[in-house]
Structure formats: C-alpha cells, structure tokens
Amino acid sequence: MMTLGCPKNRVDSEVMLGTLKHRGYTLVQEPSEAQVIVVNTCAFIGPAKQESVDSILEMAELKKTGSCSTLVVTGCLSQRYGEELAKEMPEVDHFLGTSAYAQIGDLLAAEASPRQVIPDPDYIHDANTPRVNSMPKYTAYLKVSEGCDNACAFCIIPTLRGGQRSRTIDDIVIEAKRLADSGVQELNLVAQDLTAYGHDLPGKPKLHDLLKALAQVDVRWIRLHYAYPRVFPDELIDVMASEPKIARYLDMPVQHVSDKLLLSMKRGRNSEFLKGLLTKLRERVPGLVMRTSLIVGLPGETEEDFEMLKEFVKTQRFERLGVFQYSDEEGTAAFDLPDKVPQKTIERRWREVMAIQKRINREQNKKLVGKRLEVLVEGPAPETEHLLVGRHQGQAPEIDGLVYINDGLAYPGELVTVEVTEAHDYDLVARVVERPDPKQRQHVARDAHPAPVPVVQMPRPTTRME
C-alpha cells in the first residue's frame, strides 16, 4: 500500500488494509514482494497530481520485474480522472474512487470485476470497519467526518470527497477506545472541516461535545487538525482551555489576511474576524501552539496584498506555518479568476514568507532552552541509534519538528520529561530528566529496544521547509 497526500488519505489506506487483512491477505513491507499493489493517490494541487502519476508508473514497473500481478489505483486522482487514466494507463488493473474503499476486497476476489469503480463520494467508515493503524503503535489519526460543505475558490476537495458526512459521537468513541486499548497515547483528529463536525447529524452535536466524550478515553493527547476558522464557538475554546487531554495545539488554516483575497477565496470571514479569533485563542488557551496554512499567488494577489501577508506573519508569530504556492486547478472558481500571478513571482513570495517563518521558529525554539517538556518518545533517530527522537504536545506527527534526545533512555511510546539543551530552526535537543514509574510503563509498546544513549552533541541541523 503506497499512500500519498494527507492524513485523511492515510486513514482511507488503513481501512483498505484492514478490509484486505480481514479477507485473508498478508501485508508486506516491500512493494517488490507484493502480488497486489495499491496506490492511494492525491489530486489536491498540480505537484500532488504529478507525484501520484510518477508513483503509479513506478509501481507499474514491478508488474514487469517483481511479483506484482495486480495494480490498483485509488483515491482523489482516480475520482477526478478515472476515465482518462484508464485510457492512458493500461498497466493499471483497477481504478477506485474515494467512496469505493470498502469494495476493494470484493473487487479483488471477483473473477470478472469492473476496471473502474468510481461512485459519487458518499462513503465514510465506522467503528465496525476493519482498520490497520499504519502509524507507530502509540499514535493514530482518527477521522471524525468526511467531505466538505464549504466552497473555497481554490479547492477541488468538495468535488472529490463530496459533502460533509459526520460520524456519530458514540461511533467515534468506540474506535478511540479500541485504539487506546491497542497502546495509542495520542489521537490526531482529522476531517476536511473539523469545526463543522456534527452539523449534518440529528440533534446537530458540536465539536466541543465530541471532545468532552473523547476526553473520557484513556489517552494522553487529543490533537486538533484542519479546524476551519469560520465557525469557532466559545464553548469549543472553553473545552480546549479546560480539558488537560486536549493538546495545546491547533491547526487552523487562515489562507490569507487581505480582505480582497479572502473574498476571492470565498472563505466567509474577513481579516478583522480572523485576527480577533487568534487573539481570543491566545488569551484563553495559555501555551497554545498555533499551526496555520497560507496561500501565495492567488489570482489578483498584488505586492500590496503580499506585503500585508508578510506583516501578518511577523505580527502573529505562528509556531508552525505551511505555505502553499497557488495551483490553478480546473473545476475550481479560482481557475476562472483574472490577473494570474506569474509562477516565478509565486515562488519568490513563497521563499520570502518561509524565510520569515524560519527566523520566527528559531527564536521561539531558543526560548525553550532550559525548559522542561513532556515528550512522547518515538524511538531511535533515523540518522543514528545513538539518539532518540520524540515530540512534545506542540509537535504534530509527520509535519512538525522533533525533539532529539542525546542523554537518557526511554522506550518507544513512553512519555518522559526532558530538559531542552539546544534549539535549532525546527528541532530541539534535550536530555531525559524523568521517566514514568514502572506501573505506568506497563502499557508502553516495546517493539524496539532503544540503546543507551551517550552524552554526545549530535543534533540534526535541519533545512526542512514547512
């Protein structure tokens, strides 16, 4: 299973893996060993589409050189371009859309099955659906809804994923408890629009109702991703501030600060509202780590708009920032907007914002030197077994920096207290000062045996651009 794109796509892959494992398939790590290869694609922007096509062609080569006999392409690229891909890629056996995941077992078992299964997007898994957690044992993504009812001008996702479909609170809690029982310490809530959770359900439960229920589950951190800022009630902020299991972390994409561009984007809120919400969150949730996403180069973005955006980044000082270069996507409202921004200008603006954010990151990390943090240990560092890596609650998996531990011993999945000794652009270096007592360690995953770590200065100088 090759998964491209966002964590929501990863959950879809995990559902397919669970379905196939339930059917008796054996999962292997290396594509060269697989008889069936599934490529779960992304089609959000141009570079993602190209990566998906390249990955499909790479896996198709294994039908010639490896043991692969069946190649399946799923996900957003199939949903968007299924018919065209079927004509252009004869080496692919099946194309499944974003609502056909549950059918993959039947498709592979049938002697004669359709090459394309691309229904209208209306599916979402539930707690009874088999699922294989592909993340390390101590962390997992939890998809609480699928689809989106917004109509952002730059975004093709509602076309590919359909309208909002929320799972019930009871159903989500059942899955969360199952994950906790398997050793998960950290639940990362994902959706296309997390703050819209529940508006499509009977009784219209809200995200804060879901969080109160999830707080009763035996995990340490519950992290919020993809929180659309248009609707952000005080009750949600109250739960974030008062419930210790809700990580002091919020991923809330604002996209821009120019009122003209926010209107063009059809974001539904202006800069005054966004700035007021950010101020309220900072004031009422002490220690909150904010991640946001911005877009540079939307048609009509002038240098004046861009300077406004840079000043916004300097003033708000987000702890985490992702910047997208605008991609002109057919089928979106922005595709028809006039005043396109040249690609070289888009790239320059991206570099300028990232340079500002890099300085902010280093300055904020320096303030953590000498401080003590609770860290979820991930295991030996990829670069060397003489270092451990972990994350504090202000660092989300896969997208944020890491804490490199160069003094101490801990097991993967263990929550330890560290003291920060060095700061870098995105990462921290620290030493272990306290571990949980043996009774608290009994649920820790011990799949790997971390080696004792000598006191050596081996921080990783990162050049990662978020």
Question: Does 76 count as an annotated binding residue?
Answer: yes
Residue of 305, 343, 351 whose CA lies nearest to 326: 343
Nearest to 35 by CA among 71, 1, 67, 83: 67
Instruction: Tell me if 68 is assigned to a ligand binding site.
Output: no
Angle at 438 between CA 211 and CA 141, to 5 degrees: 30
Q: Are strands 165-166 and 145-146 parallel, antiparallel or unpaired?
A: antiparallel
Instruction: Decide: helix, strand or coil at residue 398.
Output: coil
Residue 150 structure tokens:
């917004």
Give the closest residue to 215 by CA, choosing from 177, 250, 179, 184.
Answer: 177
Side by side, which strands form the sheet with 139-143? 139-143, 186-190, 221-224, 246-251, 289-296, 320-325
DSSP state of 235: H
Are residues 17 and 132 in contact, defined by beta-carbon separation less than 8 angstroms? yes
Q: Give the CA distances from residue 300 to residues 211, 259, 342, 347, 354, in Å, rounded to whole numbers and listed in that order.
A: 39, 12, 11, 16, 21
Tokens standing for residue 22: 């339930």
Crossing angle, helix 234-242 and helix 271-284, to 10 degrees? 30
C-alpha radius of gyration, the chain, whole number: 22
Helices (H), 246-393: 259-265, 271-284, 303-316, 343-366
Q: Which of 340, 330, 435, 417 is nearest to 373 (CA)?
A: 417
Binding residues: 6, 42, 76, 148, 152, 155
Binding residues for [4Fe-4S] cluster: 6, 42, 76, 148, 152, 155
